[in-house]
Structure 1
Amino acid sequence: MKKLQNRAVWIVAALMSLMALTRFNHFGSSAMLPDASYAVFFLGGLFLGRLRNGFAILTLLLVEAAMVDYFATTFLGVSAWCVTPAYGFLAFSYASLWYVARWYAPRHDLSAQGLLGLFAAAIAASSLAFVVANVSFYMLAGYFGNMSASEYATRVAQYYGSYLGVALLYIGCGVIAQMIYTLVTGKRHDANAV
């Protein structure tokens, strides 16, 4: 049991570090990695969502995301353009990633079929999160009163591929880390156990 708790602590620390290091820039730059938040919540749900304290971990990651945003907009000069009444709906967006991955966790293994299923779940979860975040932003931000929903959707659609691609890249790195763990320890990492 102690080993499982230790593994959970390491996974939480890794996910929190990844979010803290990348959340400042959505698409990345030559000096910064792109935002890993979608992948952080998905991987958290996959590896930690079924733990007894899974909801507490989800809450911790949501609080961290808000704190990083506050720090970036208050002290680093990052634009607060996205901090509107819609901002609270990011919790639903990120929770959708967490809960789709949590749902998929019992089916997850490192077989070809398991990885294909994980890929499909990651696409579905990331797509849902993207829609929730952008529909709420359109409806509540107060910036788009003169823009039709179809025009907004057309403008936002250009970012979908980037969000999805970055999430899949980081999720793939998480799965590679899981594979390395399995090879090094000789143990199968059970997403249900941690």
Structure 2
Amino acid sequence: MSLNQTLAVKPGAVALMALMAATRFHHFGTPFALPDASLAVFFFAGLWLGGRYLFALLLMEAALIDYLAITKLGVSDFCVSKAYVFLIGSYGAMWLGGKWCRQFTVLSVATAAQRLMALVAATSIAFLFSNGSFYWLSGRYPNGSFAQYIERVAMYYPPYLTSTLIYGVVIFALVSAVKSLLGAKATREAI
């Protein structure tokens, strides 16, 4: 691959970066803001785009957004601790889950189910990295116990998984619809 191909702007990458920039300010959303789409962004970047440079660029974008949100927009810094570095593992799990799904190329109910299962598995692993590291390493729970951690999992895992699955289903549906429309248009033009 040439340097020009490596540096070429990819519309899909720009769209995913814009989605992260638009949603990263609130983990679970508010009445006025969508929940954070970062997990889905990393999953789809791994699935459709790949490349370690894009992965690094997305990590830098996430850190920059967090920095600006905290220092300029008054967002709480409660979640920023020495465990923050474990987000690399969380996003890596999503990225690798997406890359693993590249093998499912035929659009069918079976491949959609396999991609959905991969999205659930990657999101669950990402949760263990981010939530587990925060609970055990952040210093916010100095007297933490396994029972308390399980309570936190029960509280935070459902919205963590749900928002990522909603983004996943919506993005898969939109991309599939666009591909179908483009395929139909190409078929009409070929006739």
Is TM > 0.5 for Structure 1 vs Structure 2? yes
Q: Secondary structure at the match of 1:181?
A: helix
Contact 1:97 1:125 in 2 (8 A): yes
- For 1:123, the aligned partner's letter is V
Larger radius of gyration: 2
Identical aligned residues as a percent: 43
- Provide runs of 4+ in structure 1 moved above 4 Å: none
- For 1:11, the aligned partner's letter is G
Which residue matches 1:114? 111
- Aligned with residue 89 of structure 2, among 92, 101, 111: 92
Tell me by how many angstroms 1:8 deviates. 7.1
Q: Secondary structure at the match of 1:171?
A: helix
After superposition, the CA RMSD in angstroms is 2.1
TM-score (norm 1): 0.87
Tell me by how many angstroms 1:140 deviates. 1.5
Contact 2:136 2:144 in 1 (8 A): no
Rounded to whole Å, the distance in 2 between the matches of 1:108 and 1:86 is 36
1:24-76 per-residue CA deviation (whole Å, 9 max, x = no partner) reads 00111111011101111111111112xxxx11111111110000000000000
Tell me by how many angstroms 1:146 deviates. 0.9
Q: Which runs of 5+ in 2 are unaligned?
A: 185-191
Q: Which runs of 5+ in 1 are unaligned?
A: 188-194
Name which structure has the greater RCO, CA cutoff 8 Å, separation 6+: 1
Which residue matches 1:134? 131
1:152-176 per-residue CA deviation (whole Å, 9 max, x = no partner) reads 2212321111111110111111111
- 1:158-177 to structure 2, matched below 5 A, reads 158-177=155-174
- 1:20-59 to structure 2, matched below 5 A, reads 20-49=21-50, 54-59=51-56
Contact 1:126 1:164 in 2 (8 A): yes
TM-score (norm 2): 0.89
- Aligned with residue 72 of structure 1, among 69, 72, 77: 69
Give aligned pairs, total.
Answer: 181
- For 1:77, the aligned partner's letter is G
